[in-house]
A and B are shown apart, each in its own frame.
Chain A
Amino acid sequence: MNSLLVYLFLSLFLFCIGMFGLLQRRSLIAMLISVELMLNAASLNFMAFNRFLAPDPAVGQIVVLFIMGIAAAEAAIALSIILALFRKIHSINIEQARELKG
């Protein structure tokens, strides 16, 4: 049960449902949540390969730490952009942000 394929399919499921949410939701915060799910799918994939295949188990952990740092930076930037956009157009719906088009 604790095999490589289980982890790969679980991370594939997380990635696909994150992609579905990113394409289908219209609230910017919900899209950010979907992006977080996709990033977690990537780090789960790295850890699975790290546990079952890779020669050195420390390298995958370092990559996952890097992904976590990127995700934290991305969440901070995205949330501040969402707040600035909300103050500007009083909505966080992505379809009402078309006035940003130049």
Chain B
Amino acid sequence: MGEITRYINPTVVAHIAFVLVVALTVVGALIAVLLKNIVYNVFGLATALVGIAGLFIFLGSEFLAVMEILIYVGAICIAIVFAIMLSQPMHLRIPPRWRPKVVFSLIVAAVVFVSFSVIITRTPWEAHLIRTHDWSIKRLGHLLLTNYELMFELISLVLLLAIVGSIITAAAVGGARHSGGPTGGKEEGGP
């Protein structure tokens, strides 16, 4: 270990890793928004989310980095890929674009960026005087079951409602197929 740290400065390695993670996030976000192909967009989103997980590690919370990869990359991106495969937007004809819309949205995003950066740079950020430094999962679990119990119950209720609601929404067409006649049933029951 001493041999390694004699040749490689750990601070330099940390700086390089930070720049890599930031570059991963920025490039992933650009790919996720600017490219036309929807599959590339999902891969760009996954890249950006991995970068954000790395940033969470730099911010001191390994638990949230693991959760980010598990929930976002592992669940949400895969669900989006499933939706792409089920709806097949690649083969659809794209109608011509009304050009000023792009310009307007660019103007809105630029105005938001400039105004928020002015606010960020002009605010004197001061740390709280008394700060604890307990980042452990144990304290997180204690707080989730004591002070933030309501939040915990609320998020479980929201997730339950989301599951039930998405099943009902996706199955509503299947219910309409009985009233729509036998041809709809053939479409639904294809291999």
Contact = CB atoms under 8 A, between A and B. Distances in A.
B163 A29 contact: no
Nearest to A39: B72
A20 B140 contact: no
Contact of A83 (B25, B83, B126): B83
Contacts of B92: 91-93
Interface residues of B, number: 86
Contacts of B172: 84
B80 A76 contact: no
Given A20-B33, A30-B41, A57-B134, A73 B120 contact: no
Q: Say what secondary structure dominates the interface of chain A.
A: helix
Nearest to A56: B132
B181 to A, nearest CB: 15
Interface in B44-99: 45, 48-49, 52, 55-56, 58-61, 63-64, 67-68, 71-72, 75-76, 79-80, 82-84, 86-87, 89, 92, 94-95, 97
A71 B170 contact: no
Of the four ranges (under 10, 10 to 19, 20 to 34, 35 or more), the interface on chain A belongs to 35 or more
A62 interface: yes
Contacts of A13: 26, 29, 113
Interface of A: 1-2, 4-10, 12-21, 23-27, 29-30, 32-34, 36-37, 40, 43-44, 47-48, 50-59, 61-62, 64-66, 68-77, 79-84, 86-88, 91-93, 95-96
4 tightest A-B contacts by CB?
Answer: A23-B105, A73-B162, A21-B33, A80-B166
16 contacts: A10-B22, A37-B29, A48-B59, A52-B125, A57-B131, A62-B143, A64-B64, A69-B159, A72-B162, A73-B162, A75-B80, A76-B79, A82-B83, A82-B87, A92-B89, A93-B92
